[in-house]
Amino acid sequence: MIERHTGEVPSVMDVLEVLFPFTNTYLGCMNYGGEWNATFRKERRVACDEVLEIYLSIGLEPSDVPTPFVEATFASLTDAQALSSLLDTPGLNLHATMERLEDFEHEYPPEAVGTAVPVILDRLACLSDRSPGIFELAPRISGTRVILRLLRRIEDPQQLSILIEQIVPHVGTLSGKRTLIEMVGHREGIGHRLVDEDTAARLENVLVEEVITEEPDSLAKDWDPLRLVFRVRAWAPEQAEARAAVWRDSPQLVAALLSGGVGETKSTSGRVVHRSPRLPWTLFEELFGKEEWARAATRPEVIASLPDELKALVQRYAEGWRPGEWDTD
């Protein structure tokens, strides 16, 4: 700006153009779309509202992630041990870290895929899959987006297929493996078709076999046993039905399925947001049997392990209550 205005005072428009380029939309200059926000944040420019807020508050909030830490994390993408150590930093805001890592997506080194993807997959359990608000994404999505962008740095589908098959055995949880297999596969609505169909089918079969042979009590300790069970039901229905009785007889797994299955409907009344808990009870009945599931879900050892609000909800479902289309309680 100084070079452009030697010997004269810059105009307000010039200041706005340099410091707050998003205002160009209203000034008739070069237009900057929302995709530039990540670039401005990475460059620590006040054009990004997050950076501006830090400048105005003269410091970081406890939940903020310092830029040097983000840069160190990015630099460690090719070093699994260093990356693990950084992501396991006590008190770290993992959600914010993943969001900041997205700013570097065009700079991800392709060789980082084999090291960084399993490390991040093993930490998805630390990110909530619950949306904090009606118009906000669940924090876990920030982690899966980093993984997807890393995978897309490998442009050769055959090379990526080979790499994915090498990565899967090194992922520490079944739900982590499921997340990766779904992401690269061809299933409608969830797969990004990053590998060929034969590889996708082979990976699914491997996961099904692992879930089927896993002891139910051990399966209950996974961070998302609900999706594991219902993915097996969708991908290999006969095997799921054959295993259903074994799953149903495990109080630990039944409790985990109930806890993982709690969702909610949201409605607004003025400025008040009403949240009503729901369970996928019909899906449970279809897999485990209507009466059999009601008995399994209300066993004393299952009920005793549930939080109070879920105990009451399970009892209501078991007694025949079902939410109507417009029910909010």
Q: Which residues pair with 273 in a beta bridge?
A: 268
Q: Return the closest-CA partner of residue 22 out of 10, 31, 35.
A: 31
Q: Which residues pair with 267 in a beta bridge?
A: 274
pLDDT at residue 324 in the model: 75
- Cβ(174)–Cβ(211) under 8 Å? yes
Q: Return the closest-CA partner of residue 96 out of 143, 134, 57.
A: 143
pLDDT at residue 27 in the model: 57
Tell me how crowded residue 115 is: count the other CB atoms within 10 A of its CB. 21
Token pair listed for 256? 């985990």
Give the model's confidence band at 200: pLDDT under 50 very low, under 70 low, under 90 confident, else very high: very high
Q: 208-252: per-residue pLDDT in tens?
A: 999 999 999 999 999 999 999 999 999 999 999 999 999 999 999
% of the chain at pLDDT higher than 90: 70
pLDDT at residue 2 in the model: 42
Spell out the alpha helix ranges (H) of 122-270.
140-151, 157-167, 174-184, 197-213, 216-219, 225-235, 237-248, 251-261
Task: Classify residue 225 by burial, with Cβ atoms within 10 Å: 0-12, 13-18, 19+.
Answer: buried
316 pLDDT higher than 90: yes
- The pLDDT mean for the chain works out to 87
Compute the distance between CA of residue 33 and CA of residue 52 in angstroms, rounded to an integer. 18
Compute the distance between CA of residue 94 and CA of residue 88 in angstroms, rounded to an integer. 9
Domain boundaries defined on the chain: 1-64, 222-329
For the chain, how big is the Rg over CA atoms in Å? 24
Over range 59-64, report the average pLDDT.
62
- Cβ(114)–Cβ(167) under 8 Å? yes
Give the model's confidence band at 284: pLDDT under 50 very low, under 70 low, under 90 confident, else very high: very high
pLDDT at residue 21 in the model: 67
Give the model's confidence band at 255: pLDDT under 50 very low, under 70 low, under 90 confident, else very high: very high
Compute the distance between CA of residue 243 and CA of residue 302 in angstroms, rounded to an integer. 19
Q: 266-276: per-residue pLDDT in tens?
A: 666 666 556 78
pLDDT at residue 245 in the model: 97
Compute the distance between CA of residue 39 and CA of residue 325 in angstroms, rounded to an integer. 44
- Cβ(123)–Cβ(80) under 8 Å? no
% of the chain at pLDDT higher than 70: 76
Tokens 């810059």 locate to 10
pLDDT at residue 178 in the model: 98
Q: Return the closest-CA partner of residue 219 out of 207, 205, 236.
A: 207
The pTM of the full predicted model, rounded to 2 decimals, is 0.81
pLDDT at residue 99 in the model: 92
Q: 128-166: per-residue pLDDT in tens?
A: 988 776 667 889 999 999 999 999 999 999 999 999 999
Q: 73-104: per-residue pLDDT in tens?
A: 999 999 999 999 999 999 999 999 999 999 89
3-state DSSP assignment of residue 287: helix
pLDDT at residue 101 in the model: 95
